[in-house]
Structure 1
Amino acid sequence: MRCVLVLLDTLRRNNLRCYNPETRVQTPNIDAFAAESCTFDEHWIGSAPCMPARRDIMCGRLNFLERGWGPIEPFDVTLPALLRDHGVYTHITTDHCHYMRTGGEGYLQLFNTWDYHRGQEGDPWVSRIDDPANMPGTFYGRVRRQYQLNRGRWPREEDMPSPQTFQSACEWLDDNADADDFFLMVEAFDPHEPFDVPERYMDLYGGGEGLDRDYFEIPQYKRVSEAEVPAEAVDYVQRRYDALVTCCDHWFGTLMDKLRERGIFDDTLVMLTTDHGYFLGERDFLGKNYMPLYNELAHLPLLVHYPGGARAGERASQITQNIDVMPTVLDLAGIPVPEEVQGVSLMSLATDPSAPTRDYALFGYHAMDVNITDGRYTYMRAPVPSNEPCFEYAAIPTTIRRYLGADRPADIECGRFLARTDWPVFKVPVDRPGIIDQSDDALKEVSDTRLFDLAVDYAQLDDLTSHDDPAAKEAEGRMVGLLLRAMDECDAPAEQYERLGLGGAA
C-alpha cells in the first residue's frame, strides 16, 4: 500500500481549470493530474479553519462541534498512529507554521518521521532585534515584521518554504521508493497568505502594475469597504494569489514527476485537496473566518488518483469531506476503520461509480453558525442572539497562540463530558468564537439563518428564508430535519441544539 496525500492550504476550487474551464490561472500540472484522476464535484469543507480541518483529516471525524482551533487530544484515534501500529511507515513534510505554535501540538509527532521547513507567516525563526531593512513604507492590509525578516533567507525560489516542502518529498521518495507500505503527507502552506511569490509567476498575470502602494500580500480579514481597499488593489492581490497557485502547481508537478521517475505513480493512491477556500473581494469580503461559509470557502477541490488508474478522467458526484481521507487510507491498507470515525471510505468508488458515500455534509466554525448541504440545498443555521450556551471541550486546553479559558478560569468545569472517551476534559465557556480577532462584533456576519438552492443559485444570492411560498418553507423544514439528524449522528454536544434554537437532540 502506497499513499501520497498532498494538501495545499487555501486552494480555491474556482481557480482550477478542472472545476472552472474559464479560469485564467495556469495550472498545467494539476490539469494533467486531473486527467489521470477522479475529480470529485461535491467535496465539502468540514471544520474550519486550518487546525480544525487538520484534526478532521487526522481523526476522520468533525472537530468543530466540540471545540475550535486546538491540538491532537490524548484520546484521539488517528490515521498516522493506526498506520504505524499496522506496520505502515508514515512521514510528513510541511512548512505549515501552525503545527509549531501553541494550539498545534501533537500532529507531527503522530508520524514515524517529520520534516519542517521554516519561515512562513509569523514563524519566529530569524532572530533580529533591529527592524528589517525591507519593511515597506506604504501598504494595504497587514505587514508582519517577523515575516519580513524570514524572507531575507530565501534568495532563490527553491529556498522558499513551500518549494522546500516539495523538494523534501522528492528526496524522501528517492530514499524510500522501493518500500511497499508507506503514507506520505506533503503539506504546503502556500497558497495561504502572505501571497509571496517570485516575479516570474507574477509576470504571467500582469506583473506588479496597478498597485499605488509598496506592498499588499496579507489582506485584513474585513470587508473590502471597511478595510478601504480600492478596486485596483483588490485586482492586484487577486493576481498575486493566482500567481502563487501557479507556483504551487509547478512544485506539485515536480512531485508527480518524481513518482513517475521512480516507477510508482501508477500503483499509488495520490490525493490532492485543501482545507478551505478564501475570499479575494467577492461579496465585499477579504480573507476568511468571520463571514458565512459560502461556496467560495466551503466547496473544495478533491482529486484522487486511484491505483491502476481507475476512474481516470472521470467525475464523482457523491458528497465527500476531508473526514473521508482517514477511512479511505485505512481501507486501502486493509486496516479496520474504528467505530468513532465519521468519514466513509472512497475506495469503493474506484470500481463502482455509483457507490454511496453520505447524503449530507455538515460543516462550520466552532461557536458560529452550523451549516449543512445535501448537494442541492445549503442551509446555514445562525445561533440565537446570545450565542449561549456554548462550550469548548478539551483535555489539552490550548488554542491558537493562547490557552482556552484564561480570561475566566473560575468558570471552567472538568469532568467526563464526552461519551466516546473516559478521559476527563475541560468544559470551557465561550464568550466569542476563538478565531475572530479582527472584529469587535464576532457574529455580525452570521447572525441570520440562510437557505440556498444550489441547483439554480450556485452563487448563493437568493436567500430562500426570505421567500413566503410553500416550496421554500418545505425545503427549509426538510433541511432543519436533516441538520438535526446530522448533529445527532455526529455527536454534537447537547447545548449546541439550544444555542442554535433547535430544542433537543433528534
Structure 2
Amino acid sequence: MRTILVLMDTLRRDVLSCYNLQSPVVTPNLDAFARESCVFDEHWVGSAPCMPARRDILTGRLNFLERGWGPIEPFDVTLPQVLREHGYFCHITTDHCHYLRTGGEGYLQQFNTWDYHRGQEGDPWVSAIDDPSNMPRDYYGRVRRQYQLNRTQWPEEAQMPSPLTFQSACDWLDRNGQAEDYFLMVEAFDPHEPFDVPDEYLSLYDGPELDRDYYEIPCYARQSESDVTDDAVAYLRRRYHALVTMTDRWFGRLMDKVRELGIWDDVLLVATTDHGYFLGERDFLGKNFMPLYNELAHLPLLVRFPGGARAGRHAQQLTQNIDLMPTVLDFAGIEIPDDVAGVSLKPLATDADAPTKDYALFGYHAMDVNITDGRYVYFRAPVPGNQPCFEYAAMPTTIRRVLGTDNPGAIECGRFLPRTDYPVFKVPVTKPGIIDQSDDPLREVSKTRLFDLAVDYGELDDLAGGNDPAEDRMVGLLLRALDENDAPPEQYERLGLAAARSACQSDARP
C-alpha cells in the first residue's frame, strides 16, 4: 500500500472553494484535488499548535491533555515505527524548522530517511555577525534578523524552502514512487508566517499597499491593542492569500508527479493542516492566546481514497488528525495498536454512513478544554488560578527550552501515566508554555463558552450560563471524553469538574 500525506501548516479551511464558494483565494490544484477526493466537512483540530499537532498525527492520540509543545516520547508508538515493523519504507521531506529545535526531538528519526530544507522562520542557518543589509527599519509586527539573513539564499521561488520540499517529494517519487508499501510525508511550512511570497502572487490580490517597509509576521495580540491599522491587516491578509496560492502551485506539481508515474489510482492521498490562523477576525492576530474559535479549530481534510472512491463527495462524520494513523494502518492491513485513540476512516471509502465518533476533543495544554459534537461547541475555562496543572514528560524539553528550570525542586518523577510503565517527570505549570507575548496569558480563555453551530457558525451568541439544556449535555460529553482519553486526574479539578465527575461516577454505580 502506498500512502502520501501532505501537511500544509496554517492552511485555513475558508480559503478553499470546496468549503467556501465565496473564497477569493486562487487554489486551482487544491480545487481539482477536492473534486477527486472525499471532502471531510467536520474535521477538527486536536492538540495545538504545531508540534502538539504533529504528535497527534504520528501517535493517534491527543497530546494536549498531558503536556504542551514537546518531542516524541520514549513510550510513544508512532505510525512510521509500526509501518517499518511491517516492512514499509517511511520517508519525510519538510522545511518545518521546529523539528530541529529544542522541543522537536525524535520526530524525523521515526522515519527510515528524511530531507530537511533550511531557512524558514528563525532557523539558525545563515551565519553572520553583522546585521544583514535587508533589515527593515519601519515595520509592523515582528522582524526576525535570522530570517532576513536566510532569505538572501533564495533569489528565485524554486529555491525557497517549501517549494524545495515539494520538489524533493517529486524527486523521491521519481526514484521510488512505483515501489510498493511506502509512506511518504510531505510537510510544507507554508502558508505559515512569515508570509514571504514573490510579487507575482501578491499581484493577484487587490488591496491597500503598506505604509511601512515590512509586515509579514504579526505579533500575537489583539489588533486594537497594537499599532496595526486596518489597511495593514488587509495587506497581511493579501500576503497570506498569495502564499496559499504559491503553496497550491507546488502542491499541484506533486499531484502531477503522482499521475505521471501511473500510480494515481493506487495510492492513498491525504491533504490537511495542523491549525488555522487569525487575520484580524474578532480583533485577533495570530494564534495561541485566544479561544479555539472556528478560524483556528475547524480544519480542511481532503482524502483521495485508492481508486477514487467517494470522489467529489462530502463526509459529515466527525474527524481529527488522530484518525490519520489508524486510517493508514487499516489500509495497510496492519493491526491498530491499543494505544491509538483515533478511528480509521477506511470504512468511509465504501460506506457513506460508516460511523466515526460522537465528539472531537481539542485544546492547548494548560488553557481551556474544548469539545464539539458537530452541532454544539463547548469551551470549558479553567478555574481562577488555573491550578493544579502539570506537564508529564520523559523528555523534558519544550519549545526552545527545558521544562521546569524555574522551580526544579517542585518536579516529581514517577509512573504517573497509566498506559506506560515508563517513569515521567511531573512538572508544575504556572503559565502555558506557548504564551510568550503576554503577562496575562489566560485573559482570553477565562470564560466558559457554548455555541450552537447550526445557527451560529460565527460563534457570536454565547449560550453558556443561560440554562440551555445543551450545556449540561456537553459537560457530560466532556467528562466522558476526558475519561476516554486518559486525562490526568488534576484536569477535572483544574476545569472545575471534580464535583460533576464524582456525581457521574456515583450515578454509574449499581
TM range (shorter): over 0.9
> 1:265 is aligned with what amino acid?
W
Equivalence for 1:7: 7
> 2:477 is aligned with what amino acid?
L
Equivalence for 1:485: 480
> 1:29 is aligned with what amino acid?
N
1:295-345 CA-to-partner distances (Å, cap 9, x unmatched) read 000000000000000000000000000000000000011110011100000
Equivalence for 1:188: 188
1:14-40 CA-to-partner distances (Å, cap 9, x unmatched) read 111110000100000000000000000
1:97 maps to 2:103:
no
| Residue ranges of structure 1 left out of the alignment (5+ in a row) | none
1:368-403 CA-to-partner distances (Å, cap 9, x unmatched) read 000000000000000000100000000000000000
TM-score between both structures, scaled by the size of structure 1: 0.98
After superposition, residues 311-460 of structure 1 pair within 5 angstroms as 311-460=310-459
1:131-183 CA-to-partner distances (Å, cap 9, x unmatched) read 00000110000000000000000010000000000000000000002201100
> 1:33 is aligned with what amino acid?
F
After superposition, residues 138-149 of structure 1 pair within 5 angstroms as 138-149=138-149
Equivalence for 2:508: none
Instruction: Find the residue that maps to 2:153 and give its secondary structure.
Output: coil
**What is the CA–CA distance in structure 2 between the aligned matches of 1:441 and 1:194, rounded to whole Å?**
25
**What is the CA–CA distance in structure 1 between the aligned matches of 2:227 and 2:363, rounded to whole Å?**
28
Residue 210 of structure 1 and its aligned partner are, at CA, apart by: 2.1
Instruction: Find the residue that maps to 2:175 and give its secondary structure.
Output: helix
**What is the CA–CA distance in structure 1 between the aligned matches of 2:336 and 2:465, rounded to whole Å?**
43
Residue 267 of structure 1 and its aligned partner are, at CA, apart by: 1.4
1:83 maps to 2:83:
yes
Equivalence for 2:69: 69
**What is the CA–CA distance in structure 2 between the aligned matches of 1:320 and 1:405, rounded to whole Å?**
34
Equivalence for 1:301: 300
**What is the CA–CA distance in structure 2 between the aligned matches of 1:228 and 1:453, rounded to whole Å?**
34
Instruction: Find the residue that maps to 1:225 and give its secondary structure.
Output: helix
Equivalence for 1:177: 177
**What is the CA–CA distance in structure 1 between the aligned matches of 2:200 and 2:263, rounded to whole Å?**
31
Equivalence for 1:24: 24
Instruction: Find the residue that maps to 2:317 and give its secondary structure.
Output: strand
Instruction: Find the residue that maps to 1:192 and give its secondary structure.
Output: coil
**What is the CA–CA distance in structure 2 between the aligned matches of 1:270 and 1:63, rounded to whole Å?**
25
After superposition, residues 267-282 of structure 1 pair within 5 angstroms as 267-282=266-281
TM-score between both structures, scaled by the size of structure 2: 0.98
> 2:223 is aligned with what amino acid?
V
Instruction: Find the residue that maps to 1:427 and give its secondary structure.
Output: strand
After superposition, residues 233-272 of structure 1 pair within 5 angstroms as 233-272=232-271
Aligned length: 501
**What is the CA–CA distance in structure 2 between the aligned matches of 1:22 and 1:316, rounded to whole Å?**
20
**What is the CA–CA distance in structure 2 between the aligned matches of 1:266 and 1:20, rounded to whole Å?**
27
Residue 466 of structure 1 and its aligned partner are, at CA, apart by: 4.7
1:466-490 CA-to-partner distances (Å, cap 9, x unmatched) read 53x5xx1x11000000000000000
> 2:474 is aligned with what amino acid?
M
> 1:380 is aligned with what amino acid?
F
Instruction: Find the residue that maps to 1:205 and give its secondary structure.
Output: coil
1:235-283 CA-to-partner distances (Å, cap 9, x unmatched) read 0000000000000000000000000000011111000000000000000
Percent identity between the aligned chains?
A: 75
Instruction: Find the residue that maps to 2:384 and give its secondary structure.
Output: coil
Residue 291 of structure 1 and its aligned partner are, at CA, apart by: 0.2
Residue 227 of structure 1 and its aligned partner are, at CA, apart by: 1.6
**What is the CA–CA distance in structure 1 between the aligned matches of 2:15 and 2:282, rounded to whole Å?**
17
**What is the CA–CA distance in structure 2 between the aligned matches of 1:242 and 1:437, rounded to whole Å?**
27
Equivalence for 1:215: 214
Equivalence for 1:127: 127
Equivalence for 2:471: 476
> 2:40 is aligned with what amino acid?
F
